[in-house]
Structure 1
Amino acid sequence: MSAKLPYVEHNPAIREEAVLLLRRGVTNRVVAEHLGIPRGTVGWWRHEDRRQRGEVYVQPTDCPRCTTREMDRPAYAYLLGLYLGDGHIISKYKQHHLSIFCNASQPGLIDAAEEAMHRVMPQPKVGRRRQHGCVEVKSYTWHWTCLFPQHGPGKKHERRIVLEDWQQEIVDAHPWEFLRGLIHSDGCRVTNWTVRNGKRYEYPRYFFTNKSDDIRKLCTDTLAKVGVRWTVLARGSDPFNISIARKDCVALMDAHIGPKC
């Protein structure tokens, strides 16, 4: 068992200087480095100073729904598509973050998810956590529920998913970014083949697969708005697959989305 570190009582003058700097807006890290004391000590002094003055600490935010900061609408449309596909929000005591799960073999997708999070809300910390076969891109702030009111208990395909008016306006203004997020999360571009007149014929096809009727409808409604024709390809009795196979529609998808990388 490791021994506890001895308690160190700092000179009151050092504490007074630290508190003065903290009240001026200097960060805990900078104060700790300037005075040569542990950052945890500085954090405790900040907490005690606020408590004694009756100051209620409010976590700073750059949430575009709670502040006057303008929303990066294209980035949000893309991130919304990622969230509806392979994302979720953890909302617990002392644990609150948005997670997007990306295939570990697609570094471009991982970078795009992280960039979208930064562009929508630059202030929160963003991290990556490698899991078996995937990378979880995480951004920490309570305010992700402001931007994704679809968050709720249970799995997304087991509850109603409806966009709010302000979200639908963004999707209508940036449909391709929204579709790109959906395809990058729960979609793919594959090469199918068939035999015609004894010869093998290959052709590209896009798929979007999701168990939620509401999310699939959001996808197909948006596809229709940009002029992409689609069909339902059922596996067994489950109509979970949206297929885009017409040559002109695949070309349109290639021009705006392309394969995941």
Structure 2
Amino acid sequence: MSTATTPAPITIDVWSDIACPWCYIGKRNLETGLAAASDDADAPQVEIVYHSFELSPDTPVDFVGGEADYLSQHKGISAAQAHQMLERVTGVAADAGLEYRFDILQHTNTVKAHELLHYAKEQGRQLEVAERLMSAYFLEGRHVGRVDDLVDLAAEAGLDPASTRDALESARYLPAVRADQAQASAYGINGVPFFVIDGKYGVSGAQPPEAFTQVARQVWAEHREESAAAAAV
């Protein structure tokens, strides 16, 4: 039970897709912003939960072509425009400390990766697995759509390979993926990353770290006030 001196943690629910370049940037900016607030004398306590959002559920597991080809085919833009988009996001990623490698990226369907994130959450390792998947996809050119590859990545993040394989092959976490997507629709989320703070504040897009620092401090102050008011009753 919370007291006046120990408010409940802030909950940040993040809707994102493994294959969304802005989502990894948003993830890193969120972490950087929260790290700045962690230096406060009264540092906000935060719990982060990742939720599923498929940007392109019709994408085949083994997409033929590079990222520019995918953008050209699915966004109706020219190859030159696609390369310009990738150059822009690569620059923004670099500002966040991420070295994107679109030249080796393997575009794929991400539903199994989302199932893995739900399994990892149950095992208490969702944050580690989310980082491992995004790093593998955007920085290392690893495949994140096939069960065998996902089992290897999960093991690298500390999960048991046999149990992970069973979770993915059984598809028992697919309903949880669909539930996340239904919740996103109920919230009116049509693009990611999207951050929901304490179920009442929405933050859209890969905001700069300072924005996350500010909102964490603001919401933590609200938690302090609510805790103090409850203790005074």
Q: Give the TM-score range, shorter chain.
A: under 0.3
> If the length of structure 1 is used for normalisation, what is the TM-score?
0.21
Comparing both chains, which one has the higher relative contact order based on Cα–Cα distances under 8 Å and sequence gaps of 6 or more? 2
Structure that is richer in helix per residue:
2
> If the length of structure 2 is used for normalisation, what is the TM-score?
0.23
